[in-house]
Structure 1
Amino acid sequence: MILEIAYFAWVRDRMGVADETVDLPANVTHVGALVAWLAARDGRGQVAFAEPQRIRAAIDGVMMGHDAPLAGAREVALFPPVTGG
């Protein structure tokens, strides 16, 4: 499955890119598996996703949990928690 991933804030800084297109392995079927796969892929991902529970995700612009399926998704945005003020 081809997926566009957008990174924001310190996740972007740690990944070294704002976005990328990836071809996901068949076993990456939900957000949590995507984060785990990105963390295991290389050193940048390992640093960016060292605390996966802190990562927030939006699938095609809609906030989702780590158990959300990726089937049919075009884009996943990954970012740290945000505060307003």
Structure 2
Amino acid sequence: MLPAFWILVRTYAPYVTFPVAFVVGVVGYNMEWFIRGKPQETKEEQSISEQREERKLQEITGKDPTEFVSLKDKLEFTPRAVLNRNRPEKKWD
């Protein structure tokens, strides 16, 4: 009797599983909606690239276009040698 039962379960499993999964999904969706409550209205947020462009525009408008960084100051932003061994101001003993 048990093998016949397993054959029936295996044969009709999709027909039983789908409605059960559907009911579980609907109940879970409604419970989540009930727990979270009514969705709050959110204003549209800017994308990351738009936020970056806005920030760069604010930086540009806040600066004097005639002022610029001298080449001596830019030297500090150049890639440095490993452990600063090749820089004359640093002496390694």
**TM category, shorter:** under 0.3
With normalisation by structure 2, the TM-score equals 0.16
Hey, which of these two has a bigger chunk of strand by percent? 1
Structure number with greater CO (CA < 8 Å, separation at least 6) is 1
With normalisation by structure 1, the TM-score equals 0.18
